[in-house]
Structure 1
Amino acid sequence: MCNNQTYEVFSSDLRVWIPEHKRGVYPDVMVITGDAIFNENRQDEIVNPCLIFEVLSPSTSSYDRGDKFLYYRSISYLKEYILVDQVNYFIEHYTKTENNQWLLQEYQDINDMIKLNSIDIDLKISDIYENISITK
């Protein structure tokens, strides 16, 4: 990590508040840069994630790719969105560009590396799938 920046990781027990859609959603994992910004005196709703991970399941896949991603895209702080398939080695990495477009890069090779620019690290696909049994 660069520039002495601090990062904090939160699991699915903390909501992301999305003001534009007036709703809160629970990501599987989110990362914030610097201090957490909470929604109007609430300690259970963060408004400033820079990176969100969702683990796809058959019951949530459509929602995570559809409406939930639509909600997330309205968060000005959010720079990257990662969808992790739990059945196959398959990761979808969305990155927000300077003109607020979202670029998709897909990973299917367990030896690939994802560059997470929002937190300035490289993450191995094998680390994401560590201790997970994928049958091909």
Structure 2
Amino acid sequence: MIANPNTNGISPEEYLAEEELSPIKHEYINGQVYAIAGASDTHVTIAGNLFALLRNYIRGTGCRVYMSDMKAHIETANTFYYPDVMVTCDARDKALVNHKKYPCLIVEVLSESTEAFDRGDKFANYQQLPTLQEYVLINQKRQRLECFCRNAEGLWVLHTYTQGSEIHLTSIDFRTSIDSLYEDVTFGI
């Protein structure tokens, strides 16, 4: 996922201006810019399935769902990431055309090269978003979804879903079978 750091730090404004013109996507972490590698068929299928399910579910609610081309801005961490799927229901995000600052749900599909980062520093940065209620990690090697939910005390509680489970994303009160999420995915290829 992350490769080719730019050794000269740039401002968030410079990053956003350059990213608009770039033929490849980059994430921005505290002044450093990192190119993002492409994704596997399984990765794209899982993210696409979830996006389609969420898009149909939230239609007409005022919420918006985004897939991989919309940046999440964590201002307190001076960071911009491209989550695989992101939902925002905050009206303040409507004025932001190339990034969102107030998501309630962020989803990352894990890959071998990104898993440690997605579970570690990236999650730590996402936790700084006061509107974020759920952070979801989806395994692409087997049917397994880990959902970290922020409870009333501000603690992150893990809910794990495996084969045969019904997934419940409480931030938007969305339910679906795990089989729907993994539709058209063949494991072991």
Scaled by the length of structure 2, the TM-score of the pair is 0.65
Aligned AA for 2:71? R
Give the structure 2 partner of residue 118 of structure 1. 171
Greater helix proportion: 2
Report the RMSD for the aligned CA atoms in angstroms: 2.1
1:105-128, Cα deviation, whole Å (9 max, x unpaired): 11222x201111111121211111
Give the structure 1 partner of residue 134 of structure 2. 80
> Percent identity at matched positions?
33
Question: Is the contact made by 2:136 and 2:148 (CA closer than 8 Å) also made in structure 1?
Answer: yes
Scaled by the length of structure 1, the TM-score of the pair is 0.88
Question: Is the contact made by 1:115 and 1:123 (CA closer than 8 Å) also made in structure 2?
Answer: yes
In terms of Rg, which structure is larger? 2
Aligned with residue 155 of structure 2, among 90, 94, 101:
101
In the alignment, the residues of structure 2 paired with residue 96 and residue 132 of structure 1 have an alpha-carbon distance, to the nearest angstrom, of 30
Give the structure 2 partner of residue 14 of structure 1. 70
In the alignment, the residues of structure 2 paired with residue 107 and residue 114 of structure 1 have an alpha-carbon distance, to the nearest angstrom, of 6
1:61-100, Cα deviation, whole Å (9 max, x unpaired): 0010001000110101110111001111111111000111
Give the structure 2 partner of residue 50 of structure 1. 104
Counting matched residue pairs gives 132
Unaligned stretches of 5+ in structure 2?
A: 1-56
Question: Is the contact made by 1:28 and 1:53 (CA closer than 8 Å) also made in structure 2?
Answer: yes
1:42 deviates by 5.3
1:6 deviates by 2.3
1:135 deviates by 3.5
Q: Does 1:134 align with 2:183?
A: no
Give the structure 2 partner of residue 32 of structure 1. 88
Question: Is the contact made by 1:5 and 1:34 (CA closer than 8 Å) also made in structure 2?
Answer: no
1:2-42, Cα deviation, whole Å (9 max, x unpaired): 9x74221101111111011011111000011143526xx85
In the alignment, the residues of structure 2 paired with residue 69 and residue 35 of structure 1 have an alpha-carbon distance, to the nearest angstrom, of 24
